[in-house]
Amino acid sequence: MSDHHNPFEAMQARLKVAAELYGLEDALFKVFMAPSRSMIVSLPVMMDDGHWEVFQGYRVQHNVARGPAKGGIRYDKNVTLDEVKALSAWMTWKCAVVDVPFGGGKGGIICDPTKMSQGELERLTRRYIAEIMDIIGPDRDVPAPDMGTNAQTMAWVLDTYSMHVRSTSNAVVTGKPLGIGGSLGRNEATGRGVLIVAREAMQRLGKHLAGATVAVQGFGNVGSQSARLLHEAGARVIAVSDVSGAIKNDRGLDIHALMKHVAETKGVAGFKGGEAMEPAELLTLPVDVLVPGAMENQITEDNAAKIKAKVIVEGANGPTTPEADPILLDNGVLVVPDILANAGGVTVSYFEWVQNRQGFYWREREVNERLVEYMVHAFQQVFATTDKYKTNPRIGAYILALDKVSQAMHYRGFYA
């Protein structure tokens, strides 16, 4: 896929369209076009063989008018400041769309976690948190896992922060292991959100999710959990891909067996229940539902016209470029945008934060029931806004978010 698209510029392009339709005043538009704070840190880490490496890390807070900044920490060799800025802005809009009381934040470290030991990753994480201590906290900025990080990483975040403040502070981070304040239902929350909005989108088209064909790009946490939950809901997942390759089976893949295969081999390639295919071909299969759950900039002006899916549910952040949006719209593809489609994760992160603050924990059934309420309500609000402004669902979601964040800004006023 083309890699020349700047994700922060893509966010700004959508924001500009939404602001003009909504009638946002110029002062607030200027505020929203840039993050409120960007921190760049150098992270010296001793590697296992005794030599030192200096990594570069970022933490960006886009807007905190509605509450503490909220957003994941990404470990990837391709992390850039503009990517982290875009992701932090998307978190602002995402939190507003699902109506959880957070603003947008995001973090990232330029590294290749697949080539680092657990000890090296722990030392890197602890150094990073020590460097950004001044701007994070349960009432300031609450990190979470993202690409290249997991519950263990969050446990190191919790411990490092708590050691510095001299008290256990469970609510400083979400996506933790259950034994130290994590929430039931958090691991599959983003995938469950994808399932919920996919069902709502199919209903909007007068179709059923059960029996529908699905292709899923990406088989990390979001892609694998989305595939599993869609499979369990009766959909037929016929193709999946990840960095190892792509497979398909027109009769439907056995997702549980595939997840076991991936746990053992670290990739979907070689799974005996499907045949190999070109990864790029997955996006253009004639399916009912396409879930791009991998990286940014996967659906572009180069391949948008070839997409045959009836519904796209954006499990990843920024998988569709601004140039591809009008092509998909003209071809009648219903796109459930990322700031709605993958908001299940931050919604259950909010539930985890609430449970940490209360010291009272919910059963998994309660978590999932509340997630359905939040996601269905957000879906209905996004499409009501879309219809009101006679636009597409992505711009509708941005307008809904702009309305909520700008309202908070007006209530609070500007400190000068």
Q: Which residue segments constitute the domains of the chain, with CATH numbers given?
A: 35-173 (3.40.50.10860), 189-340 (3.40.50.720)
68 — pLDDT class (breaks 50, 70, 90): very high
Residue 2 has a pLDDT of: 38
DSSP 168: -
Interatomic CA distance for residues 11 and 380, integer angstroms: 23
Instruction: List the structure tokens of 22.
Output: 């909504």
Residue 226 has a pLDDT of: 97
**Residue type for position 10:** A
Residue 135 has a pLDDT of: 98
3 — pLDDT class (breaks 50, 70, 90): very low
How many percent of the chain have pLDDT more than 70? 99
Query: Which residues lie closer than 8 Å to 72 by C-beta, 6 or more apart?
Result: 87, 106, 107, 143, 144, 145, 146, 147, 149, 175
Residue 330 has a pLDDT of: 95
Interatomic CA distance for residues 334 and 330, integer angstroms: 10
pLDDT digits (tens, 9 = 90+) for 165-190: 999 999 999 999 999 999 999 999 99
Query: 27 pLDDT exceeds 80?
Result: yes
Interatomic CA distance for residues 318 and 310, integer angstroms: 19
Query: Which residues lie closer than 8 Å to 1 by C-beta, 6 or more apart?
Result: 280, 297, 298, 300, 302, 303
Catalytic residues: 106
pTM, rounded to two decimals: 0.94
